[in-house]
Amino acid sequence: MLQATPLTEGWILRHPDDPAEVLPAEVPGCVHTDLLAAGLIPDPFLGLGEKEAAWVGRREWTYETDLRAASAHERTDLVFDGLDTVAEILLDGRVLGRVRNMHRSYRFDVTGLSGRLAVRFASAYAEAEAVRERLGERPAAYAEPYQYVRKMACSFGWDWGPTLVTAGIWRPVRLEHWSTARIARVRPLVTVDGDTGVVELSVDVERARGEAPLVLEAAVGGVRAREEVDGARGTVRLRVPDAALWWPRGYGGQPLYEVELTLLRGDEVLDLWRRRVGFRTVELDTSADAHGTGFTLVVNGERLFARGVNWIPDDVFPSRITRERYRRRLAQAAGAGVDLVRVWGGGIYESEDFYDACDELGLLVWQDFPFACAAYPEEQPLRGEVEAEARENVVRLMPHPSLALWNGNNENLWGFRDWDWERRLAGDSWGEGYYLGLLPRVVAELDPTRPYTAGSPWSGSWDHHPNDPAHGTHHSWEVWNRADYADYRRSVPRFVAEFGWQAPPAYATLRRALPGEELAPDSPGMLHHQKADDGNGKLERGLARHFAVPEGDFDRWHYLTQLNQARAVAAGIEHWRSHWPVCAGTVVWQLNDCWPVTSWAAIDGDGREKPLYHELKRLYADRLLTLRARDGGLELAAVNQSARRWSGTLVLRRMSVQGVLLGETSVRLAAGARAVARIGVPGDLVPAGPEEFLVADADRLRALYFPVPDREVPYVPPEFDVALAPGGITVTARTLVRDLLLQADRLDPGARADRGLVTLLPGERVTIGISGWKTPDAEHARSALYCVEPLR
Report the topology of domain 287-623: TIM Barrel (3.20.20)
d(CA 59, CA 640): 56
Helix (H, G, I), strand (E, B) or coil at 666: strand
pLDDT at 91 over 90: yes
Mean pLDDT of the chain: 97
CA–CA distances in Å: residue 476 to residues 137, 538, 589: 28, 15, 10
198, 191 in Cβ contact below 8 A? Answer: yes
Q: Provide the pLDDT for residue 327.
A: 98
Structural Rg of the chain based on CA atoms: 28
Q: How confident is the model at residue 339 (pLDDT cuts 50, 70, 90)?
A: very high
598-614 confidence digits (pLDDT tens): 999 999 999 999 999 99
Helix or strand run (H / E) with residue 146: none
pTM above 0.95, yes or no: yes
Q: How confident is the model at residue 792 (pLDDT cuts 50, 70, 90)?
A: low
Classify 624-712 by CATH class.
Answer: mainly beta
760-783 confidence digits (pLDDT tens): 999 999 999 999 999 999 999 999
Q: What is the DSSP letter of 437?
A: I
Q: Provide the pLDDT for residue 15.
A: 81
Nearest CA to 295 among 453, 440, 403?
453
Judge whether 411 counts as a catalytic residue.
Answer: yes
Characterise 16 by phi-psi region: left (phi > 0), alpha (psi -120 to 50), beta (else): alpha
d(CA 770, CA 778): 12
Torsion over CA of 397, 403, 405 and 411, rounded to 10 degrees?
Answer: -80
d(CA 717, CA 740): 13
Q: What's the CA angle centered on 497, arms 496 and 502, to 5 degrees?
A: 90
363-377 confidence digits (pLDDT tens): 999 999 999 999 999
Per-residue 3-state assignment (H helix, E strand, C coil) for 27-85 = CCCCHHHHHHHCCCCCCCCCCCHHHHCHHHHHCCEEEEEEEECCCCCCEEEEEECCCEC
d(CA 450, CA 668): 42
Characterise 437 by phi-psi region: left (phi > 0), alpha (psi -120 to 50), beta (else): alpha
Helix (H, G, I), strand (E, B) or coil at 572: helix
- Of 350, 360, 378, 411, the catalytic one is 411
Return the number of other C-beta atoms located less than 10 Å from residue 244's C-beta: 18
Q: In the sheet that 765-771 helps form, which strands lie side by side, from edge to edge?
A: 720-725, 728-733, 765-771, 752-753
Write out the DSSP string of 151-208: S-GGGB--SSS-B----B--S-EEEEEESSEEEEEEEEEEEEETTEEEEEEEEEEEES
d(CA 159, CA 634): 38
Write out the DSSP string of 517-570: ----TTSHHHHHT--STTHHHHHHHHHHTTSPPPSS-HHHHHHHHHHHHHHHHH
CB-based contacts of 270, cutoff 8 Å, min separation 6: 1, 2, 178, 179, 180, 181, 182, 214, 263, 264
CA–CA distances in Å: residue 668 to residues 232, 251, 574, 673, 695: 67, 26, 21, 16, 16
Beta pairing partners, 275:
259
195-225 confidence digits (pLDDT tens): 999 999 999 999 998 888 999 999 999 999 9
408, 457 in Cβ contact below 8 A? Answer: no
- Where are any strands of DSSP class E within 631-747? 633-640, 646-656, 661-671, 675-680, 692-698, 701-705, 720-725, 728-733, 737-742
Helix or strand run (H / E) with residue 435: none
Q: What is the DSSP letter of 488?
A: G
CB-based contacts of 770, cutoff 8 Å, min separation 6: 727, 728, 729, 742, 744, 747, 751, 752, 753, 754, 776, 781
Report the topology of domain 3-175: Jelly Rolls (2.60.120)
d(CA 11, CA 62): 10
Could you tell me whether strands 364-368 and 94-100 are parallel, antiparallel, or unpaired per DSSP bridges?
unpaired
Q: Provide the pLDDT for residue 70.
A: 83
Q: Provide the pLDDT for residue 260.
A: 98
Q: What's the CA angle centered on 573, arms 462 and 347, to 5 degrees?
A: 60
Q: What is the DSSP letter of 641?
A: -
Helix (H, G, I), strand (E, B) or coil at 446: helix
Domain covering 180-277: architecture: Sandwich (2.60)
Helix (H, G, I), strand (E, B) or coil at 422: helix
- How is the chain split into domains, by residue range? 3-175, 180-277, 287-623, 624-712, 720-786
Q: How confident is the model at residue 21 (pLDDT cuts 50, 70, 90)?
A: confident
Q: Provide the pLDDT for residue 61.
A: 96
Length of the chain equals 792
512, 529 in Cβ contact below 8 A? Answer: no
Q: Provide the pLDDT for residue 210.
A: 81
Percent of the chain, pLDDT > 90? Answer: 97
Q: Provide the pLDDT for residue 630.
A: 87
Same fold flag, 180-277 and 624-712:
yes
| Type of residue at 214 | L
pLDDT at 758 over 70: yes
343 burial type by CB count under 10 A (0-12 exposed, 13-18 middle, 19+ buried)? buried
Helix or strand run (H / E) with residue 90: strand 86-91
CB-based contacts of 531, cutoff 8 Å, min separation 6: 157, 158, 159, 160, 161, 162, 597, 599
